[in-house]
């Protein structure tokens, strides 16, 4: 779609406003809107100014002026605004140099795609994330110098089987028994369907939706795979739509990886493959029907996995899910079919076009542009250096003896560990200027000062149960 096409679309849809969306460094959409009368072809070249110092992880106040440049290919009608509003996703540029802003996550994704092509290895990387999330009915939380608590509630929560609901009809999924039950146990079929239908309105192809394993409204909606940048855009629309549809139903959604104690957390398995000239490159005669290139790609992911955790599992809460011995695949191994491995080779179809890998440790709190780009760079490093992924692990990893398990490396156990790994292992991200040293340093500094340290300094409620009477 060209700028001229965008103006034509705005007239066809009788748009009253134009909304400009862009992503902050951490991974939350920002936006501002202008009357449609302000929309012109010049905006797609000249851009619109804003204060970059007010965006997390971006500019200092003495150099705060930035520009958004809308991408005409992203034009759709926003499905939630009361007045017809045309939505455009934007890139960020420096107003003086007119260069793409290095801390703009979308720019990093674009550079990753360009780097792939420059290597000659392939011309497109496809990604298919499977984000999980919780649909709650109530959430309250507060933290002060003399208190700290959170309170979650869901009409589906198994803890509510004895609550007065006048009447309480039961049918609440037990812990770890929420996977695929039909209604009335699955009370959220209709809300998930509405989420799917709205996603289709903005051009997202949906493959399936279902209840997930945990009690209290855990859900999953799967999108059809797409190229790295386009899937980064779609993941942002996905989160925006899921949250706003939930609000229509007077419910709330979180992509927080581990909001509930004692039940499964929310992961985001990421399917990925590389193609060239319209042909898949991961299909071959090796283990699991994989090519040598694909196995080297796996080797790169496994080698750099602990550094990848800093982008794929970017919060302190991520590591409440990545705990040894529980449901998350923290052991850095690969296997066909085995879902306890951190990298799985799906065996659903013999078609070469379906051959892909599934990286299972990421979670949906991540910034998709950064996580996808980082995984691609790790995989390409594996291909370029012919990194051997080692022997596959086809046993149940959770059933291994301590001696056997000691030979299997594991993912980072905390955000601090992940950031330390990133500090020591990030050269692969700097190739092609995809991630700059400034981006790496700023990410580590922000995550330590704004997230890891504040959590480390605060007592948590269970510590009072353990230690108050000491």
DSSP H helices in 89-138 = 105-119
DSSP-assigned states of every residue in 438-458? HHHHHHHHHHIIIIIHHHHHS
103, 106, 211, 269: which is the annotated catalytic residue?
A: 269
404 included as an active-site residue? no
DSSP-assigned states of every residue in 158-179? GGGTTS--SS-----PPTT--S
175, 339, 417, 451: which is the annotated catalytic residue?
A: 339
CA dihedral 195, 197, 201, 206 (to 10 degrees): 90
pLDDT tens digit at each of 470 positions of the chain? 999 999 999 999 999 999 999 999 999 999 999 999 999 999 999 999 988 888 888 877 666 788 999 999 999 999 999 999 999 999 999 988 999 999 999 999 999 999 999 999 999 999 999 999 999 999 999 999 999 999 999 999 999 999 999 999 999 999 999 999 999 999 999 999 999 999 999 999 999 999 999 999 999 999 999 999 999 999 999 999 999 999 999 999 999 999 999 999 999 999 999 999 999 999 999 999 999 999 999 999 999 999 999 999 999 999 999 987 666 788 899 998 766 789 999 987 789 999 999 999 999 999 999 999 999 999 999 999 999 999 998 877 767 778 877 788 999 999 999 999 999 999 999 999 999 999 999 999 999 999 999 999 999 999 999 999 99
pTM for this model (two decimals)? 0.96
130, 186, 226, 363: which is the annotated catalytic residue?
A: 130
220 included as an active-site residue? yes
78, 137, 186, 220: which is the annotated catalytic residue?
A: 220
132 included as an active-site residue? yes
339 included as an active-site residue? yes
Of 90, 76, 81, 92, nearest to 5 (Cα)?
76
212 included as an active-site residue? yes
51, 65, 207, 453: which is the annotated catalytic residue?
A: 51
């Amino acid at each position: 779609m060209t700028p001229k096409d965008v103006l034509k679309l705005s007239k066809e849809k009788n748009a009253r406003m134009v909304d400009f969306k862009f992503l902050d460094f951490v991974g939350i959409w920002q936006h501002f809107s202008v009357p449609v009368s302000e929309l012109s072809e010049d905006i797609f070249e000249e851009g619109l100014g804003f204060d970059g110092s007010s965006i997390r992880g971006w500019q200092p106040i003495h150099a705060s002026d930035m520009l958004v440049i809308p991408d005409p290919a992203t034009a759709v009608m926003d499905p939630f605004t009361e007045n017809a509003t045309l939505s455009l996703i934007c890139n960020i540029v420096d107003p003086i140099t007119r260069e793409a802003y290095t801390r703009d996550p979308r720019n990093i994704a674009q550079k990753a795609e360009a780097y792939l092509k420059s290597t000659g290895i392939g011309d497109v990387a496809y990604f298919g994330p499977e984000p999980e999330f919780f649909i709650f009915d109530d959430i309250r939380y507060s933290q002060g110098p003399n208190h700290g608590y959170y309170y979650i509630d869901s009409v589906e929560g198994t803890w509510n089987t004895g609550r007065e609901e006048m009447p309480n009809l039961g049918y609440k999924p037990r812990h770890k028994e929420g996977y695929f039950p039909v209604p009335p146990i699955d009370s959220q079929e209709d809300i998930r369907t509405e989420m799917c239908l709205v996603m289709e309105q903005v051009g997202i192809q949906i493959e399936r939706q279902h209840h997930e394993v945990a009690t209290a409204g855990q859900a999953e909606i799967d999108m059809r795979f797409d190229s790295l940048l386009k899937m980064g855009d779609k993941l942002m629309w996905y989160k925006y739509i899921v949250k706003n549809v939930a609000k229509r139903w007077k419910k709330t959604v979180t992509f927080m990886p581990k909001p509930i104690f004692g039940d499964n957390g929310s992961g985001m398995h990421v399917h990925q493959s590389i193609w060239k000239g319209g042909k898949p490159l991961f299909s071959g005669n090796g283990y699991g029907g994989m090519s040598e290139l694909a196995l080297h790609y796996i080797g790169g992911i496994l080698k750099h996995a602990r550094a990848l955790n800093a982008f794929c599992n970017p919060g302190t809460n991520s590591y409440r899910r990545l705990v040894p011995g529980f449901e998350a695949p923290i052991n850095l191994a690969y296997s066909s079919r085995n879902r306890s491995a951190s990298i799985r080779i799906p065996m659903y179809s013999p078609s070469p076009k379906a051959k892909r890998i599934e990286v299972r440790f990421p979670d949906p709190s991540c910034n998709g542009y950064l996580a996808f780009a980082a995984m691609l760079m790790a995989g390409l490093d594996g291909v370029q250096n012919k990194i051997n992924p080692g022997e596959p692990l086809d046993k149940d990893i959770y059933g291994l003896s301590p001696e056997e398990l000691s030979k299997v490396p594991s993912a980072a156990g905390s955000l601090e560990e992940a950031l330390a790994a990133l500090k020591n292992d990030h050269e692969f991200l700097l190739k092609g200027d995809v991630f700059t040293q400034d981006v790496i340093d700023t990410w580590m500094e922000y995550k330590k000062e704004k997230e890891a340290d504040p959590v480390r300094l605060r007592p948590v409620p269970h510590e009072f149960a353990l230690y108050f009477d000491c």
